Chains A and B, each alone.
Chain A
Amino acid sequence: MPISRHFKSRKNRKGQSLIETLTGFMILIPIGLLSYDLTYILIATQNNEMLADNAARAAASHSDPVTAQDSAQKALGDFQQTSNYGTVALNDFTYNDENNGQVSLTMTMTIKIPVVFGPWSTMTVNAQSVQPIVGIPAPR
């Protein structure tokens, strides 16, 4: 057998392995990174919902809409200080003490995707919460 043909086939085998390994990595690593992103988004969404509930409950313990909204903002501020998911904003705050006696609000979180895929670097999620107002004394 000629020596060059033997040597060529060995080089081809090594090249094939490298390509297969790289191909494997190119498939598995993005899948892994995507799953990390998904998990991050899920956890951030859950935290956003908990924040919405906590802020609404804090607001509901007050007897007037101004202090109620301030309390909700404070809950948001405290969350923002300790989390790094992204920015959170309080929207659609309603303190209805006349009709249904409820506080409702929406928390909008703009999540910074940890692993950026192309143009997909942020994601916005909303969480709504409704809580009964407990801060108003029973009428005389």
Chain B
Amino acid sequence: MDKLHSQNNTNRALVYRGKHGASLALVAVCAGILILSIVLIFRIVMYLGGVQELNSTADAAALNIAKRSMEIKTSPSVTQYGGVFSDCTDSQGQIGLSNINRIWGKAYLINANVEEMTANQQITNAASTAADRAYQAAQEINDDLYAKLKDSFTLGSFFDQIAGIRFHKMLGNPQVSSDTNNNWSTALIDRGDQSNLAANSNQIPGPAKSRFAGVAVGNNTYLPGYFPMQANNKNFYYISFHNGETTHLVTENYFQRNRGDKLGLADISNPLPNAFSGYGATANSMNSHSFAVANPQRQYNLSTPHAFVSISLVNLAYWIVQGRQVNVTTYGFTPATQFGANHIPLGASGNNYLDGYASLGNEFQGSNSLWTALTSIQQDPTDVLASVVQRMQEITPDFSLSNLQQLLQQQQLLPNASTYIIYPSYSNLDATNPSIKIAVVTQPPNKSLPKWLNTAAGNDGQQKTLATKEPVQDDPNYNWQMVYGPNFQSGQHWTEVGGNIDWTPSTGYSQTLGQLTIMHTTRAFFTANQVN
């Protein structure tokens, strides 16, 4: 019996000892599984955190690429005819994404002027050539900038500038670089939205005006971005840049849908992008993409900055004795007597002659200003000044008829001056925010005029008469005569005072946008009657 009890106790002890060992083993296994799980979760969290770090780096690097894309510049001198755009550069004489729209805007205005001149039958070969050259120059500048914006080395260096100095602790601080990227895709986003070129339809002449499609934002209107506009059978485009925004990230989906290589612009060659991609990878091939849109945060006005309109005054006197024109003279802007028919022979004997005199310049008596000169031919010159106002609005969009009237009224007619110019004066090096002035053209040129101004520039359109004043007899100019000799006595004499206002348009390619010619004409008639 004791043996049996002892055997039972031994068995129970063995069983009990086995159960005791299993609990500890179970704890050990659970602890091990728990620790392994913790390590696994730790690694997963670290990996996910590292991916987040990589994405943040790609975001920052893409922003850097978009921001520094503004520093990629070219010069007007890259093209043979680039000098026409020297007034659209920045203060360093360079052109980049921030101001390329000014280039295209000026080229557009030149071509719109040509389209108007063609419609009005005032076109010349010189004007057509000017428009073609302006377009060619704009395209060549665009193409040079396009090549620079696509340069992988430059974009990669912008990416690495940020990526190379950011930390990626959760990945073990590997180097992130763009070395393995060979696809720096770009996009033309915000198509149809505003560009950074403000404009109003009044600036656009002739037929092109009907195709003006501005984008209203607040109180301003802007030319549309990535929405080609036509002038003179050519297509012009502008880059979209939203007012009030900075360079910022965009979604991949939006970027990819607007890639320039997948969805280009019809009839536009090499449209410049406004959005850029950034791609970076670590040595163990973890990579990330990001996309950003650039914004220069600068707005400009559609304009031809270095340009002017001229006003020319011509006073002609025709001296007609016995129905035959014997002399043509010019006269000034103050009343004066001219002796234009000097000892004109009468008859065949040679013993008779006529002296004819005229009082000329009486049109300018009283208020002696450019405005008087104009209104003496056309009392209400609104219509004839419309062309001048439109051209001046190509320099500054808010120029109005009342501004022009004020300038003409304040400009006194100077004795020996026949040409005046209305021109912009700039205090900024990038030719923005002009103040409009009027000055007389002298030889040598007035030193107070801007250095860029070339007063000798010729107009490249054909002259056309806008208004004509029907001749009025003996008012305000009049004449008298003296007849000498035995065979003739004084007959009738009279004057016919008239005039016309002519407009010669110009493209703006050579600075001049047009010339208004105010011509006063006095015909002085002298007659003598034969007595025997």
Chain A positions within 8 Å of B, measured between CB atoms, are 1, 5, 9, 13, 16-17, 20-21, 23-24, 27-28, 31-32, 34-35, 38-39, 42-43, 45-46, 49-50, 53, 57, 60-61, 100-102, 128-140
Contact = CB atoms under 8 A, between A and B. Distances in A.
A101 B67 contact: yes
16 contacts: A1-B9, A9-B9, A9-B12, A21-B23, A24-B23, A28-B34, A31-B38, A35-B34, A49-B56, A129-B56, A132-B63, A134-B67, A135-B246, A138-B70, A138-B97, A140-B90
B247 interface: yes
Nearest to B21: A20
Given A130-B162, A130-B166, A132-B63, A138 B34 contact: no
Contacts, number: 118
Interface in B243-287: 246-248
B384 to A, nearest CB: 37
Given A42-B49, A130-B165, A138 B24 contact: no
Nearest to A136: B297
Contact of B64 (A21, A42, A132): A132
Contacts of B90: 139-140
B430 A140 contact: yes
Interface of B: 2, 5, 8-9, 12-13, 16, 20, 23-24, 26-27, 30-31, 34-35, 38, 41-42, 45-46, 49, 52-53, 56, 60, 63-64, 66-68, 70, 90-92, 96-98, 161-162, 165-167, 170, 246-248, 295-298, 428-430, 432
Given A1-B9, A57-B60, A129-B60, 17 more contacts: A1-B5, A28-B30, A28-B34, A38-B38, A42-B49, A45-B49, A50-B56, A53-B60, A101-B67, A101-B68, A102-B162, A129-B166, A132-B64, A133-B67, A139-B90, A139-B91, A140-B429
Nearest to A102: B162
B166 to A, nearest CB: 6
B165 A137 contact: no
A57 B61 CA distance: 12
Contacts of A101: 67-68
Contacts of A138: 70, 96-98, 296-298
B35 A137 contact: no
A42 B31 contact: no
Contacts of A100: 161
Given A23-B24, A130-B162, A134-B63, A46 B52 contact: yes
A31 B161 contact: no
Contacts of A61: 246
A53 B290 CA distance: 15
A11 B352 CA distance: 167
A50 B57 CA distance: 11
3 interchain residue pairs of minimum CB distance = A137-B297, A1-B5, A138-B296
Contact of B296 (A42, A102, A137): A137
A46 B55 CA distance: 13
Contacts of B98: 138
B430 A131 contact: no
Contacts of B2: 1
A113 B145 CA distance: 56
Nearest to A135: B246
Nearest to A56: B60
B60 A132 contact: yes
B237 to A, nearest CB: 20
Output the residue of B26, B296, B297 with the most chain A CB within 10 A: B297
A134 B16 contact: no
B53 A49 contact: yes
A136 B295 CA distance: 10
Contact of B56 (A21, A35, A53, A136): A53
Contacts of B13: 9
B25 to A, nearest CB: 10
Contacts of A128: 166-167
B24 A20 contact: yes
Given A128-B167, A139-B90, A140-B428, A134 B42 contact: no
A118 B529 CA distance: 136
Contacts of B248: 134
